[in-house]
Structure 1
Amino acid sequence: MRLFQLMILTALALSSFLVIAQHFENNQLIFPERRILAFTYKGANEEIIKSTLPRIVSNIGNEPGSWVYEWSKLASYYEDQGDDFVEDGYLEKARDSFLISSNYYAMAWFPNNYLPEEKVAYQDHLRTYLKAGNFFDSPLEVIDIPFRGSYVKVYMHKPVGIEKPPLILYTQGADQFKANAFPTVSDLVEKGFAVGTFDLLGTGENENWKITPSGDELHLSILDYFINTNGFDNSRISFVGFSFGGYYAAKLASRNDPRIKSIISFCPVFIQFTGRSIDQIDNILRSPEGAALVNLLRKAGAENPRDAEEALEILSSFSLHNQGLVGSGKNIATKLLIANGTNDPLGPVQDMHLLYNSAINADLWLLGGAEHCAVEYLPITVPHMADWILNN
């Protein structure tokens, strides 16, 4: 096993306190720099984001000055621009405009996708991504996969000119879904992979189910489907998961399914986020981080997501340590890569080491002083991830 530390000397000096989502302090909107970096990486314009934020005076509603309205207004502008490009025959420009539009619609519903106005923005986000997908080098395919008496959707991105490419099945977290990962997915496709993105149970279009510790059963059902349909290189199927998707990627690795070639668990949250005490959870629920935690607990079926005792009971059930999957010897045989920044209180370095030391054949990449999911490193790290999968 190797321990690989990717350090960039010009990394930003980042705070040790992680603020997850937008909130108001003294009637002033605070949107964490980490989130601005993330949405900029996904296609938004940093200057436009920073010039829009002062106009926002409310997190609810769909009136001028509300979070949903201001980002949706921007998204609508770029969607109209894309439609004009299509009419004029500029299809690559149309694709890019639709992707920008989809990203701003994603900002409009972020992070909850709960209120009615957020649900509308989410559907607009999907709709504009599908419009962009018509103009990908290999047009986007939407695949309905049977699951528990219903269906889940996989967005399949394929490389051009490869008949049966290796397959990556890709998930994000509890507040980032299958249609807002294009820069990362595009880098992987350029390396010759087909990439199928899908929503975790309890999130995105899979809200008919709850987030539960056994949510990786969905991953296995999707794996079964693609192996049985035999449209890809079945000998080279890998999973990549970010954040809460990284949690399920780590749990999936512990199943030691021989059909899975390798797994990347990027910024996984699996011990620290589950809490240590009712007082700790109560403090988080009362902090600016509280809204994001309430969102997760709601998706997990909490009757009162602001009740610290109920929250601790739910969260502790997710701990891979409590489940005996990490910290009790080298139980993981699947080839595994773990990666994260070193300044992530949700997925601290000690948790990354615990997962690393629970695997027989693993690599650990610690990305400078970055916070959760190390977005500032992704343009460099993702191509290396693709190479890691190809080499393993």
Structure 2
Amino acid sequence: MATTENLTEQIFKPQFDYPETSTLINRIDNSNGSSISALDGEVDSRWYRIINPILWHWRGLPKLEAEAILSKIAASTRRHTNDNWLDTVVGYQSGNWVYEFLNQAAVWQSKAESIDKASLIDEDKNNVHNYYLIASIYASIASYPHFKNDELAMYAQTCAYQYYTKALQFSPFLIKELEFKVDNRSVKTILHLPKCEGACPVVLICNALGNLQIDYYRYFSEFLAPHGFAMLTVDLPTVGYSRNFALSQNSSQIHQAILEQLSSVPWIDDHRVIVAGFRFGSHIATRLAYLMPNKIKGVFNFTPFIHQIFVDKDLQKNLPNSYKDMLASRLGLPSISNQQLAAELNYFSLKNQGLLTHACHVPVMNIIFEDDKLSDLCEAKLIHSIKQNKVITVPKTQLQKSLYQALTQSVKWMKSVI
């Protein structure tokens, strides 16, 4: 993999021969869909991507700075692939989504590298850590929605991981990169360890569709680590370090292989494993609850996707274009119609797979958001445990406060089941 410095030399120069992200999936059916929740971001017909400044700010980006980048993109007069969408400037140049967010990532990279590493005091270490972390968040957003065939986005994604790796070198926590074998191939994961003696319980993260595994640092540092939990992250199939794995209805393939091998990891207690599924990741987490109950102590789902979105054709039709494109990209489909998408997604329903016809043998906690069109109370109640079923609904207003309350509740519940 190229170094960050070499990548910077390659990509921070305007170039015009790259296909623009919104053109990579051939949409046979277009929509002005709005079936999404505040958790996923703002659906605005003027943007191709789903904009989520509240969550970006929660992850650590300076609020006004992120809004200034969006303003710069919106004000661009350069040629667009679609004049109705502000974030479709053609070529790697000013106004292009990847260009603007990656340029800002480079600003924070420079801040980190301007600090003399020879004699760092604690404040300097903290600044270097935070500057690289902010750079990684910007680069991750530059890559969003992380299409495998998006060359510019792949460059940005590589930068995001390298910035994150550098940030972790100055983290107050111990971090380990681990590789696990999956069907004679390997997948790279990141283990984040709290400050504790002996083997500690671990939370295995199952990502949302639009996230990389490096997007969960705040959840670890602010919520898990203070309570002695380690966090193990892994990318979804077709994304990041798992980009060479295909996503199928057997969505938990990689995570199952990891659970089988956790006993070989010396820093964690493989008898105290919690699986946490975020949005689409709950599909993986819930499968694990049913298929591998002897390997886990509990499942925490953050707004679960297990049935409705996979079978409700009207709901699917009303998804934003970029969300349907993201699904198509993850499924390896260069072209997609509503009918084809419905046929493909139908196989993902855990009810249709027969898993939800009986109760699982581990405690389950589901958090749902008020008025979330993609994950409601009915969805949560489809998952039944013979040990414990806990469902919490949090309000959609004051999203940052709701998010904090939900994640705090998740850790309190995890402590009760290990």
Please report the TM-score for the alignment, with normalisation by the length of structure 1: 0.86
| Equivalent of residue 178 in structure 1, options 213, 228, 249 | 213
1:310 counterpart letter in structure 2? Q
Between the aligned partners of 2:329 and 2:55, the Cα distance in structure 1 is: 24
Between the aligned partners of 2:41 and 2:96, the Cα distance in structure 1 is: 15
Residues 175/103 of structure 1: CA separation in 2 closer, same or farther (3 Å cut): same
Query: What are the within-5 Å matches in structure 2 for residues 1-392 of structure 1?
Result: 18=37, 25=45, 28-29=46-47, 35-56=52-73, 57-59=86-88, 60-87=90-117, 89=120, 90-114=124-148, 115-186=150-221, 187-277=223-313, 281-284=316-319, 289-304=320-335, 306-326=336-356, 328=357, 330-355=358-383, 357=384, 360-369=387-396, 376-392=401-417
Residues 229/181 of structure 1: CA separation in 2 closer, same or farther (3 Å cut): closer
Between the aligned partners of 2:415 and 2:317, the Cα distance in structure 1 is: 44
Residues 215/370 of structure 1: CA separation in 2 closer, same or farther (3 Å cut): farther
Between the aligned partners of 1:106 and 1:226, the Cα distance in structure 2 is: 28
Equivalent residues of 1:272, 1:345 under 8 A apart: no
Residues 243/16 of structure 1: CA separation in 2 closer, same or farther (3 Å cut): closer
1:362 counterpart letter in structure 2? N
Shift of 1:86: 4.6
Which secondary structure does the structure 1 equivalent of 2:375 belong to?
A: coil
Between the aligned partners of 2:104 and 2:362, the Cα distance in structure 1 is: 44
Between the aligned partners of 1:352 and 1:16, the Cα distance in structure 2 is: 18
Shift of 1:234: 2.5
Equivalent residues of 1:261, 1:334 under 8 A apart: yes
Between the aligned partners of 2:196 and 2:242, the Cα distance in structure 1 is: 32
Measured against aligned partners, the alpha-carbon deviations of 1:13-57 in whole angstroms (never above 9, x if no partner) come to xx98648578874xx447756x11111111112211222212114
Equivalent residues of 1:21, 1:292 under 8 A apart: no
Between the aligned partners of 2:279 and 2:36, the Cα distance in structure 1 is: 17
Between the aligned partners of 1:227 and 1:42, the Cα distance in structure 2 is: 31
Which secondary structure does the structure 1 equivalent of 2:128 belong to?
A: helix
1:298 counterpart letter in structure 2? S
Between the aligned partners of 2:161 and 2:243, the Cα distance in structure 1 is: 15
Shift of 1:344: 1.3
1:294 counterpart letter in structure 2? D
Between the aligned partners of 1:232 and 1:224, the Cα distance in structure 2 is: 14
Between the aligned partners of 1:29 and 1:369, the Cα distance in structure 2 is: 22
Measured against aligned partners, the alpha-carbon deviations of 1:192-240 in whole angstroms (never above 9, x if no partner) come to 1111111122222212111112121211211111123454223211111
Q: Specify every segment of 5 or more residues in structure 2 that has no aligned partner in the other structure, as ranges.
A: 1-33, 74-85
Equivalent residues of 2:277, 2:302 under 8 A apart: yes
Which secondary structure does the structure 2 equivalent of 1:345 belong to?
A: coil
Counting aligned pairs with the same residue, the percent is 20
Between the aligned partners of 1:375 and 1:140, the Cα distance in structure 2 is: 27
Measured against aligned partners, the alpha-carbon deviations of 1:230-282 in whole angstroms (never above 9, x if no partner) come to 542232111111111111111211225212111111111122211423x6544
Between the aligned partners of 1:320 and 1:361, the Cα distance in structure 2 is: 19
Between the aligned partners of 1:106 and 1:69, the Cα distance in structure 2 is: 12
Equivalent residues of 1:237, 1:260 under 8 A apart: yes
1:67 counterpart letter in structure 2? W
1:238 counterpart letter in structure 2? I
Residues 280/338 of structure 1: CA separation in 2 closer, same or farther (3 Å cut): closer
Measured against aligned partners, the alpha-carbon deviations of 1:306-359 in whole angstroms (never above 9, x if no partner) come to 222221111111111211222x3x42111111112022111122211222x465
1:363 counterpart letter in structure 2? K
Which secondary structure does the structure 1 equivalent of 2:365 belong to?
A: strand
Residues 73/93 of structure 1: CA separation in 2 closer, same or farther (3 Å cut): same
Equivalent residues of 1:106, 1:121 under 8 A apart: yes
Which secondary structure does the structure 2 equivalent of 1:68 belong to?
A: helix
Aligned to 1:8: none
Which secondary structure does the structure 2 equivalent of 1:181 belong to?
A: helix
How many residue pairs get aligned? The number is: 364
2:144 counterpart letter in structure 1? F
Residues 212/30 of structure 1: CA separation in 2 closer, same or farther (3 Å cut): closer
Between the aligned partners of 2:36 and 2:258, the Cα distance in structure 1 is: 37
Equivalent residues of 1:170, 1:196 under 8 A apart: yes
Equivalent residues of 1:21, 1:111 under 8 A apart: no
Which secondary structure does the structure 2 equivalent of 1:127 belong to?
A: helix
Between the aligned partners of 1:207 and 1:85, the Cα distance in structure 2 is: 34
